[in-house]
């Protein structure tokens, strides 16, 4: 009896203890959930999300002044020996100013006036951000390139390695001994399989015809990039990045669906992205930058393409773009249009970008890359602490995009200089995606290795052994007469400076593009320094020759530069267009 009473008392005493255990488990669950929140959303993102929930500041921006296309001669000037004989006394051109890494055109920026800025501190951009201290490396490069003519001649010793042709000596002693033994065996065995072989032969020839087709050019181009993003994996989504099929992680697909552009809806969407499994996609962005040698613009384009594939609506796409760009360290800011339920994305860049509305904050210009119309908008005053750097537009490497190769040929009027090249369509798509930037972005850009080898490899033997004057005249005439002329307005309807590769891809080019190409050829083949001449309605070049060269010239830092105009068709070095001989000129140095 006593035992039963003891058991009953013990059971009753355990009831509050069990309740305490349940309570403790619930508290532990809440703590784990809070810890999970802290784990997936770091302090920087939590703070930024709270700022997103606060009322955004209103700004009223006037429509920006449309970018003026640089005036260009509608037709290239043809050299007339009677009007401009070769013995015309040379003149020294008047220099108005010397500019670094930009042009006068760089001052033709959209003007945006912003009112009611509160703490946004928007202001009109100043041209102080344009000059960059990077032109200094040029002299060192030029000194090295001066040796190229001798190096070209020194390429012939490379034929000596052909001596290892002695390799056939190795198989001679071994082959004869091994051959007699092996054929002796097959002579008996092939007799039996012979009747079967002829029957199989008619079917096998059809197979080899199809198999070689697969491994030809396309499979070789893909491994050259060595990117894991070209292989499908699970879970993944396919994207078309500059005519190149890639696969990205699909974990973030459909994570957000923002039906409203109001503060709380945007903050909820940003928080959902922070909670999601986003790190694999960040890794994809970094992998693409590494494998394809992308500059910051290339990363921005990759983020934009990925967000469009993962989101079902435009507003969600904008929020995801800012989230990914901020996580990658780039300065990007969302804004809500004042006249509609639409989000905008402003991105800071390291140079002037034309044709897009923008505002200035802390000395940086933020551009609405996807739009051309200024409007009233609302924007969060606070930036993400992870957003530290602007998007760099300049190219230190040529993007490794090699899909869709097309062949092009350029021949001068005399027919004695002809260059055939292969141009990557995907690289052209990449260049076409870039908004118009400062002139220095194009003049200083490297050239694709394969195209550079084809162009320089063809022209180098033609200039080798010639004097500086004769070699420069050959290159000048090739650019003057080997490329069709057209203004950007005629060809595109807007101003579009070219990278060197684009001159061989598009059917025509203008004076700016010809100057970039000629300057590159002179530096690479002759090892001479080149400056660009920015006239009121024209761009040409001037070359610093080593010897005494006759013709129109100008003096820069005590050094003589002789005029070379790639758009003065048929003119030799030292000849300036008659209407420009007395005009002041600005010097562009890169």
pLDDT band at 582 (very low <50, low <70, confident <90, very high): confident
Please say if the pLDDT value at position 46 is more than 50: yes
What pTM value is reported for the model? 0.74
pLDDT value at residue 183: 41
Percent of the chain with pLDDT over 90: 58
Mean pLDDT, the chain, whole residue set: 79
Q: Where are the domains of the chain?
A: 37-65+109-140+226-397, 77-103+402-589
pLDDT value at residue 3: 52
pLDDT value at residue 36: 52
DSSP secondary structure letters along 209-277: HHGGGTTSHHHHHHHHH--GGGS--SSEEEEEETTEEEEEE-TTTTS------SHHHHHHHHHHHHHS-
Please say if the pLDDT value at position 551 is more than 90: yes
pLDDT value at residue 289: 98
pLDDT value at residue 264: 95
pLDDT value at residue 407: 98
* Fold of the domain spanning 77-103+402-589: C8orf32 fold (3.10.620)
C-alpha dihedral (179, 180, 183, 187), degrees to nearest 10: 170
Please say if the pLDDT value at position 155 is more than 60: no
User: For 77-86, 146-155, 521-530, 559-568, which range has the lowest pLDDT when averaged over its residues?
Assistant: 146-155
pLDDT band at 29 (very low <50, low <70, confident <90, very high): low
- The pair phi, psi for residue 212, each rounded to 5°, is -65, -20
| Cα atoms found within 13 Å of the Cα of residue 153, Cβ hemisphere only | 7
- Cβ atoms of 398 and 418 closer than 8 Å: no
For residue range 437-464, what is the model confidence (pLDDT) as tens digits?
988 899 999 999 999 999 999 999 999 9
C-alpha 382/C-alpha 233 separation (Å) is 38
pLDDT value at residue 330: 98
Please say if the pLDDT value at position 430 is more than 70: yes
Please say if the pLDDT value at position 117 is more than 90: no
pLDDT value at residue 507: 98
Which residues lie below 8 Å from residue 483, measured CB to CB, with a gap of 6+?
410, 503, 508, 509, 514, 517
Mean pLDDT of 459-485: 98
What distances in angstroms separate CA 425 from CA 60, 408, 443, one per listed residue?
A: 41, 12, 21
Mean pLDDT of 329-333: 97
Q: Which residue has the higher pLDDT, 191 or 512?
A: 512
pLDDT value at residue 319: 98
pLDDT band at 590 (very low <50, low <70, confident <90, very high): confident
Q: Which residue has the tokens 């050299």?
A: 79
For residue range 167-180, what is the model confidence (pLDDT) as tens digits?
334 334 334 444 44
- Residue 542 DSSP SS3: strand
- Cβ atoms of 401 and 242 closer than 8 Å: yes
DSSP secondary structure letters along 435-479: PPB-HHHHHT----HHHHHHHHHHHHHHHTTS-HHHHHHHHHHHH
What distances in angstroms separate CA 280 from CA 42, 213, 234, 286, 308, one per listed residue?
A: 17, 35, 12, 10, 17
Q: Which residue has the higher pLDDT, 32 or 232?
A: 232
The contacts found for 175-180 with CB under 8 angstroms, 24 or more apart, are none
> In the numeric block, which tokens belong to residue 216?
């030809």
Please say if the pLDDT value at position 15 is more than 60: no
For residue range 363-380, what is the model confidence (pLDDT) as tens digits?
999 999 998 888 889 999
C-alpha 225/C-alpha 217 separation (Å) is 13
Please say if the pLDDT value at position 254 is more than 60: yes
pLDDT band at 22 (very low <50, low <70, confident <90, very high): very low
């Amino acid at each position: 009896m006593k035992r039963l009473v003891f058991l009953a008392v013990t059971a009753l005493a355990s009831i509050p203890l069990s309740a305490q255990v349940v309570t403790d488990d619930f508290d532990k669950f809440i703590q784990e959930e809070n810890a999970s929140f802290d784990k997936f959303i770091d302090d920087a993102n939590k703070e930024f999300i709270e700022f997103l929930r606060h009322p955004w500041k209103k700004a009223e921006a006037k429509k920006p002044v449309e970018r003026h296309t640089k005036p260009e001669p509608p037709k290239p000037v043809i050299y007339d020996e009677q009007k401009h004989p070769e013995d015309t006394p040379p003149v020294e051109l008047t220099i108005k100013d010397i500019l670094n890494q930009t042009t006068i055109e760089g001052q033709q920026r959209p003007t945006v006036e912003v009112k009611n800025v509160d703490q946004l501190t928007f202001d009109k951009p100043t041209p102080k951000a344009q000059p960059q201290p990077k032109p200094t490396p040029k002299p060192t490069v030029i000194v090295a390139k001066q040796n190229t003519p001798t190096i070209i001649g020194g390429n012939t010793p490379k034929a000596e390695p052909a001596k290892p042709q002695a390799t056939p000596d190795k198989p001679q002693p071994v082959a004869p001994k091994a051959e007699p033994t092996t054929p002796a065996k097959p002579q008996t065995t092939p007799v039996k399989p012979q009747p079967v072989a002829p029957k199989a032969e008619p079917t096998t020839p059809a197979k080899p015809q199809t198999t070689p087709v697969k491994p030809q050019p396309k499979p070789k181009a893909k491994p050259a990039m060595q990117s894991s993003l070209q292989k499908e994996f699970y879970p993944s989504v396919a994207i078309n990045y500059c005519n190149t099929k890639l696969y990205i992680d699909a974990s973030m697909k459909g994570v957000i669906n923002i039906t409203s552009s109001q503060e709380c809806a945007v903050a909820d969407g940003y928080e959902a992205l922070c909670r999601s499994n986003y790190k694999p996609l960040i890794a994809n962005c970094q992998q693409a930058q590494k494998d394809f040698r992308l500059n910051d613009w290339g990363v921005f384009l990759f983020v934009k393409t990925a967000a469009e594939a993962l989101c079902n609506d435009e507003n969600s796409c904008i929020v995801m773009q800012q989230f990914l760009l901020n996580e990658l360290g780039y300065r990007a800011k969302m804004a809500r249009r004042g006249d509609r339920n639409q989000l905008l994305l402003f991105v800071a860049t390291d140079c002037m970008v034309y044709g897009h509305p923008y505002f200035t904050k802390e000395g940086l210009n933020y551009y609405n890359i996807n739009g051309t119309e200024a409007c009233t908008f609302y924007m969060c005053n606070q930036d993400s602490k992870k957003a530290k750097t602007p998007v760099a537009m300049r190219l230190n490497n040529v993007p490794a995009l090699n899909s869709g190769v097309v062949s092009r040929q350029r021949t001068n009027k005399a027919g004695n200089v002809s260059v055939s090249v292969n141009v990557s369509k995907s690289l052209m798509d990449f260049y076409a995606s870039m908004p118009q930037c400062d002139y220095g972005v194009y003049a200083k850009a490297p050239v694709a290795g394969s195209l550079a080898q084809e162009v320089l490899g063809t022209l180098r033997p033609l200039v080798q052994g010639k004097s500086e004057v004769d070699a420069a005249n050959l290159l000048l005439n090739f650019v003057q007469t080997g490329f069709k002329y057209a203004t950007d307005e005629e060809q595109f309807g807007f101003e579009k400076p070219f990278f060197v590769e684009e001159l061989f891809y598009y059917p025509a080019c203008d004076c700016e593009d010809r100057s970039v190409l000629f300057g590159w050829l002179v530096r690479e083949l002759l090892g001479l320094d080149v400056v660009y001449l920015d006239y009121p309605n024209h761009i040409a070049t001037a070359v610093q020759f080593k010897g005494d060269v006759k013709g129109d010239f100008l003096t820069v830092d005590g050094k003589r530069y002789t005029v070379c105009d790639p758009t003065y068709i048929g003119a030799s070095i030292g000849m300036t267009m008659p209407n420009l001989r007395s005009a002041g000129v600005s010097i562009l140095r890169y």
